Amino acid sequence: MPIPSQKDIQIPLLHLIYSKGGKVEPMEVFDELAAYFGLTEEETEEKHRSGGGKFYKRIAWARYYLCEEGLLDRSSHGIWKITEKGKKELSRLRLVGRPFSGLTPSKDQGALSAVNPVRESESDDEKIIELILQEIAPDGPKKFPDDFLDDNCTDFYEVELPGTQLQFAPAGRGTTVKS
């Protein structure tokens, strides 16, 4: 398996730190993340062209970006600590209370399958929404802006989403979002 990108490592790293009590020393996460991604010892020891381990550098970059987003606290040297914002993000992703070892990356999505874990019990509302989506978009989601705007676009279009109104100007003039 190829070594995952730093972006694919971010959510599993955040979840792992949370599951270990909210703070860890860096060396505590490497082996578990390697196992999570199904990496062999040979893959985890693969060297980066600038020296050092490629996988370890990607974890460090993932941590860096999590800190930049305010999801991890960088105030203590040698300690990776989750912030309240990080906990809220995990809650939003429905990962709070789920054991880290219970998640595995999907072959298609890499680590991002952790973002949408299989729900143990879907509510009736979620089932209805899924049926509606299948009815109105049987071919799956549409690409924006290609499937919404054509080259002859000269007028404004309004697309309404629950709670959000979008207005599209003719091609090249941008998008206005009203809340």
User: What domains sit in the chain, N to C, each tagged with a CATH number?
Assistant: 6-114 (1.10.10.10), 135-178 (no CATH)
Across the beta sheet with 175-178, the strand order is 157-161, 164-168, 175-178
Give the H/E segment covering residue 72: strand 72-73
> Which of 33-42, 83-92, 116-125, 140-149 has the weakest average pLDDT?
116-125
pLDDT above 70: percentage of residues in the chain: 61
Q: Of the given ranges (34-38, 68-72, 104-108, 113-117), which has the lowest mean pLDDT? A: 113-117
Q: Which helix (H) or strand (E) holds 125?
A: helix 124-136
Residue 24 half-sphere exposure toward CB, CA atoms < 13 A: 18
**Can you tell me the mean pLDDT for 20-39?**
91
pLDDT at 82 over 50: yes
- Helix then strand count (H, E) for the chain reads 6, 6
Distance CA 3, CA 24 (A): 22
Residue 173 has pLDDT above 90, yes or no: no
Q: Which of 34-43, 101-110, 145-154 has the highest mean pLDDT?
A: 34-43
Indicate whether 88 pLDDT > 80: yes
Mean pLDDT of the chain: 76
C-beta of residue 32 within 8 angstroms of C-beta of residue 43: no
